[in-house]
A = this chain, B = another copy of it.
Amino acid sequence: MYLETSVGSSASGRANDCASCSARSQSICAALTQNALAEFFQLGRTCQLKRGETLMWESDEAIVVGNLREGLLKLTSSLDDGREQILGIAFPGDFVGRPFGKTAGHCVTALTDARLCVFRRSAFEQFAGCHPELEHALLLRALDELERARSWMLLLGRKSASERVATLLLEFADRQDAREGQRVALPLTRQQMADLLGLTIETVSRKLTLFKRHAIRLPDLHGFIVTDRTALEELAGG
């Protein structure tokens, strides 16, 4: 499918060793045996973002990549008239940016105050080229992200508003592996939920109040409690 990138080509001469890597990088290399990404990112410049600040824009040339240390980021894309879609949310530990590409294709904006380690993309790529275990780690993440994005495509393309909202709640509940009766943090505004689900703020609000009848309680904004997991799963659809 055309979602597949292709094939083809690629890798031509690669047997050469990595002349351009510095001695410093080589020492890192040893450290990488345990956890390539984590170690590597200790080399980056740290970067603080306040809630609402944007790290990179959709059509910008992709200059930096990074690793999120604290806080939450949203990845978004928008139409000319301002309609916005959230493409994903980055949690601490997630990799952000677009290595090996001209532009990122999406904005990256802080949902909360955040701290990252960032690198010039070119330097990162060069380093990655010398460290297969780093590229392997990136590959695993990319495949994971791809799977997540695709399952969200099903939601956006085919699910009703109720199913979308229920799915979101379940996802947050599962991610925080909360049991029935426990409060689950939902650190998004109604607008952000709407942008994630391809709905409007009003519809999200209505569905939430609707669910209060059978499946959840809303002790406060930005948190909820699942009172009937089965009912919620029913609402979320297949």
Binding site for B on A (CB under 8 A): 1-20, 32-38, 67-68, 72-75, 77-81, 83-91, 93-96, 98-101, 105-106, 125-126, 128-130, 132-154, 156-159, 197-198, 237-238
Residue in B closest to A88 when the chains form the complex, CB atoms: B3
Using Cβ atoms and an 8 Å threshold, which residues of chain B touch A9? 7-10, 35, 37-38, 100, 137
Smallest Cβ distance from A121 to chain B, in angstroms?
A: 12
Smallest Cβ distance from A130 to chain B, in angstroms?
A: 7
Using Cβ atoms and an 8 Å threshold, which residues of chain B touch A99? 143
Using Cβ atoms and an 8 Å threshold, which residues of chain B touch A153? 77, 85, 87, 149, 152-153, 156
Using Cβ atoms and an 8 Å threshold, which residues of chain B touch A157? 85, 156, 197-198
Tell me whether A94 and B37 are in contact (CB under 8 A).
no
**Which residue of B81, B88, B105, B147 contacts A101 across the interface (Cβ within 8 Å)?**
B147
Using Cβ atoms and an 8 Å threshold, which residues of chain B touch A85? 153-154, 157-158
Q: How far does the alpha carbon of A34 sit from the alpha carbon of B11 in the complex, in Å? A: 7
Residue in B closest to A111 when the chains form the complex, CB atoms: B1
**Which residue of B2, B154, B156 contacts A2 across the interface (Cβ within 8 Å)?**
B2
Using Cβ atoms and an 8 Å threshold, which residues of chain B touch A15? 14-18, 33, 130
Tell me whether B6 and A136 are in contact (CB under 8 A).
no
List 13 A–B pairs whose Cβ atoms lie within 8 Å, in order of A's numbering. Answer: A1-B94, A2-B4, A5-B7, A5-B145, A7-B9, A7-B37, A10-B11, A10-B137, A15-B15, A77-B150, A98-B147, A146-B149, A153-B153
Tell me whether B4 and A91 are in contact (CB under 8 A).
yes
Given contact pairs A2-B4, A4-B68, A156-B198, a sample of 14 additional A-B residue pairs in the complex whose CB atoms are under 8 Å apart: A1-B73, A4-B75, A4-B88, A5-B7, A5-B94, A6-B6, A7-B94, A9-B35, A12-B129, A12-B130, A14-B15, A14-B130, A149-B153, A157-B197
